[in-house]
Structure 1
Amino acid sequence: MMSSHNDSNVTNSSSDAGLTQDFSTESNSSFTISKINIPSYTRILVPHDGKETSDKALNHAIYLSNLSGAEIVILCILQDVEKFEGTSVDISRNKATDNQDDFRHDIKGELVNAMEAKIKQCTDAGSKSKISYRLRTGHVVHEIVNACQETDYDLIIMTTTHLDSWLHSIFSETRKIISNIRTPILIIH
């Protein structure tokens, strides 16, 4: 491989592959690599379907959380509540003092125990930051989008299992919803 260098450009070319790269120090883009553009994470969302593959995403979240101090929020989405034996859903509606409706969802049973156990596993694995969970009911894609619109997450870490759900609906109305997410997504395979 041959390399040449001048003041503003570095060109690498390989006679075998015929590749040339120009690493100009001048940027035509408004986004450059600098300290002010390096993201900082304060809240990481991890959609979790209860399967071991989702634990891979949690492992990455623990690592990044330990580096940044970010809170990890585990999002569990129930698509079909009737399938969860031993789980009850209580919904009560209270009038808030500012005249806005306040919905309180209490989900009791094995699901809460499973989420508490997952948090303990994360702590035992070395997580040093706050870990919480959110339980939602509905369509996976819609609920991930809704969660991102309701709370400022700096990063979403998910496995390809969740990506498959997104890809199945990519050409439907859901595509419009997905395009509203402005949060970076790290996909774990």
Structure 2
Amino acid sequence: MYTQILVPIDGSPTSDHALGEAAGLAQLAGARVRLLHIVDPMEHTNGFERPEVYHRDVLPGALRAGEALLRQAQKRLAQRGVQAETALVQSLGPRVAQLVVEQAQQWGADLIVLGTQGRRGLPRLMMGSDAEQVARTAPVPVLLVRGAQAGAAPA
């Protein structure tokens, strides 16, 4: 059974749904959970701010938001009786998927639970899929969790 579950989160509804699934698995297996949030600088810049403004205001704000997201998710798991540790990683070049796989290897995860948007067609071709890339390259099983469907009970 699984003993160490890595759960990358980004605050999206899909990520929240995956967190609920991971909590249920951790409860059943008595597993440890590590919550991972990756701050990708490209998501927090418009390209027009000066470098000193980015480093003084934008990046610290993104890091604070990431820490708050991790604390909130950790609290949510604790309410379900699941203890979790957190990791905040800043991307300095590699794709998010690569960082998730590296974190899983470094921590010794034996399962990754990850939300996926389930994009198809042109949006998938244009945007790529970090979830798909994690599933293809991870050395451990990956549970891809789609967002809650309309009318489905929340996890």
TM-score (norm 2): 0.66
Structure 1 residue runs of 5 or longer lacking an equivalent are 1-39, 90-106
Cα contact 2:3–2:110 (8 A) shared by 1? yes
Corresponding residue for residue 106 of structure 2: 150
Q: Output the amino acid matched with 1:88.
A: P
Aligned Cα root-mean-square deviation (Å): 3.3
* 3-state secondary structure, aligned to 1:120: helix
Task: Give identity over the alignment, percent.
Answer: 26
* 3-state secondary structure, aligned to 2:85: strand
How many pairs align? 126
Cα contact 1:46–1:158 (8 A) shared by 2? yes
1:88 to 60, 80, 85: 60
Relative to its length, the structure with more strand (as a share) is 1
Name the stretch that deviates more: 112-121 or 61-70.
112-121
Cα contact 1:87–1:110 (8 A) shared by 2? no
* 3-state secondary structure, aligned to 2:117: helix
1:181 and 2:138 are equivalent in the alignment: yes
Listed one character per residue, the Cα deviations across residues 66-106 of structure 1 (whole Å, up to 9, x for unaligned) are 111101111111111782857539xxxxxxxxxxxxxxxxx
Corresponding residue for residue 83 of structure 2: 130
Report 1:4-83 matches (<5 A).
Answer: 40-80=1-41, 83=44
- Name the CA shift for 1:60/1:41 in 2 (closer, same or farther; >3 Å): same
Corresponding residue for residue 112 of structure 1: 67
- Name the CA shift for 1:81/1:65 in 2 (closer, same or farther; >3 Å): same
Which structure has more relative contact order (CA 8 Å, sep 6+)? It is 2
Structure 2 residue runs of 5 or longer lacking an equivalent are 46-56, 147-155
Relative to its length, the structure with more helix (as a share) is 2
What's the offset of the Cα at 1:162? Answer: 8.4
Q: Output the amino acid matched with 2:128.
A: H
- Name the CA shift for 1:148/1:114 in 2 (closer, same or farther; >3 Å): closer
What's the offset of the Cα at 1:156? Answer: 0.7
What's the offset of the Cα at 1:108? Answer: 6.0
Q: Output the amino acid matched with 2:140.
A: T
